[in-house]
């Protein structure tokens, strides 16, 4: 365990003050600014709706989980691994008196931490957008109490369901040195998920799981299997991916 914490603290040092960390803020921000602008532009239509909090949470969470999150996960895990690939530091890392698994495990934990952080920002910004409308558009139904329980529950579940793609993309980016492979896989699977979300496969396709679970939790549909697949699959792939990456020779 000590070895793991040492590896983790080294990872944290390497991540601090990088664009990788800033992205956890910028990714939800860029999306929420647009949501804000669009709600503003559709003013007349919005003024007549009576459950705007729920609608806002759904808009931002579904858009996030379906499109932004998979691409964001690809980029973040790609960057965590590219740090070592580009500077050819795997060799040095593995020469340290830290077991190899600790290096991979700490990257996995950092990746999960970064994604979790971004979703906390997303939830906070969603509330922020709603509160802003409460002030500038008092006539809209944002005057209703903030549905904290719904928000926290759906964001948490969406996050847990994303563990599988976090593990998958971390493995891909660590296994293949080329950043293009990492990005290519992420782009193709994300584009595919836009089709898959409307099919029966959405329940089991890793890249639609966060969106499926978040939507299910908001609309009161069943999502237990998808959630379990996301979490358990995430842990399983992390173990398999770690096993695969650390047993490989590095150049």
Least Å distance between CB 65 and other proteins? 12
Q: Nearest Cα to 154, choosing from 204, 231, 218, 60?
A: 218
To the nearest 10°, the Cα dihedral for 194, 199, 202, 203? Answer: 170
Among 9, 92, 178, 219, binds other proteins (CB under 8 A): 178
Q: Tell me whether residue 58 or residue 153 sits nearer to other proteins (CB atom).
A: 58
Among 118, 190, 208, 217, binds other proteins (CB under 8 A): 190
Tell me the site size for other proteins, rule CB under 8 A.
Answer: 34
Residue with tokens 């994303």, as numbered in its chain:
162
Q: How far apart, in Å, are the Cα atoms of 235 and each of 166, 228, 229?
A: 10, 11, 10
Yes or no: say if 13 and 109 are a contact pair by the CB < 8 Å rule.
Answer: no
**Residue 199 binds other proteins (CB under 8 A):** yes
Q: Tell me whether residue 4 or residue 40 sits nearer to other proteins (CB atom).
A: 40
To the nearest 10°, the Cα dihedral for 201, 53, 68, 213? Answer: -30
Output DSSP code: residue 205: -
Yes or no: say if 163 and 227 are a contact pair by the CB < 8 Å rule.
Answer: no
Q: Tell me, rounded to whole angstroms, the distance of Cα 161 from its chain centroid.
A: 9
Phi and psi at 46, nearest 5°, equal -65, -35
Chain positions 85 to 114 lying near other proteins, rule: CB under 8 A, are 86
Among 63, 117, 235, 246, binds other proteins (CB under 8 A): 63
Among 10, 67, 83, 236, binds other proteins (CB under 8 A): 67
Check the CA dihedral 105-111-112-113 and report its sign: positive
Least Å distance between CB 177 and other proteins? 11
**Residue 71 binds other proteins (CB under 8 A):** yes
Among 192, 204, 235, 246, binds other proteins (CB under 8 A): 192
Q: Tell me whether residue 67 or residue 109 sits nearer to other proteins (CB atom).
A: 67
Least Å distance between CB 166 and other proteins? 16
List residues near other proteins by CB under 8 A: 19-20, 23, 26-27, 30-31, 34-35, 38, 41-42, 63, 67-68, 71-72, 75, 79, 86, 178-181, 183-184, 187-188, 190-192, 194-195, 199
């Amino acid at each position: 365990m000590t070895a793991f914490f040492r590896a983790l603290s080294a990872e944290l040092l390497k991540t601090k003050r990088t664009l990788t960390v800033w992205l956890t803020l910028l990714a939800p921000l860029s999306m929420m600014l647009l949501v804000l602008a669009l709600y503003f532009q559709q003013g007349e239509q919005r003024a007549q709706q009576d459950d705007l909090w729920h609608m806002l949470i759904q808009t931002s969470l579904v858009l996030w989980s379906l499109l932004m999150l998979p691409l964001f996960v690809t980029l973040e895990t790609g960057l965590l691994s590219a740090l070592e690939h580009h500077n050819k530091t795997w060799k040095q890392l593995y020469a340290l008196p830290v077991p190899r698994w600790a290096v991979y495990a700490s990257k996995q934990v950092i990746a999960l931490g970064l994604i979790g952080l971004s979703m906390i920002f997303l939830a906070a910004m969603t509330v922020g957008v709603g509160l802003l409308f409460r002030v500038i558009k008092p006539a809209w139904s944002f005057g209703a109490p903030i549905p904290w329980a719904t928000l926290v529950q759906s964001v948490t579940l969406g996050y847990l369901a994303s563990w599988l793609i976090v593990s998958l993309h971390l493995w891909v980016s660590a296994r293949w040195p080329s950043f293009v492979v990492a990005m290519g896989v992420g782009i193709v699977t994300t584009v595919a998920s836009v089709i898959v979300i409307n099919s029966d496969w959405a329940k089991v396709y890793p890249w639609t799981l966060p969106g499926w679970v978040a939507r299910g939790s908001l609309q009161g549909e069943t999502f237990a299997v998808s959630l379990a697949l996301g979490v358990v699959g995430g842990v399983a792939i992390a173990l398999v991916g770690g096993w695969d990456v650390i047993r490989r020779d590095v150049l």
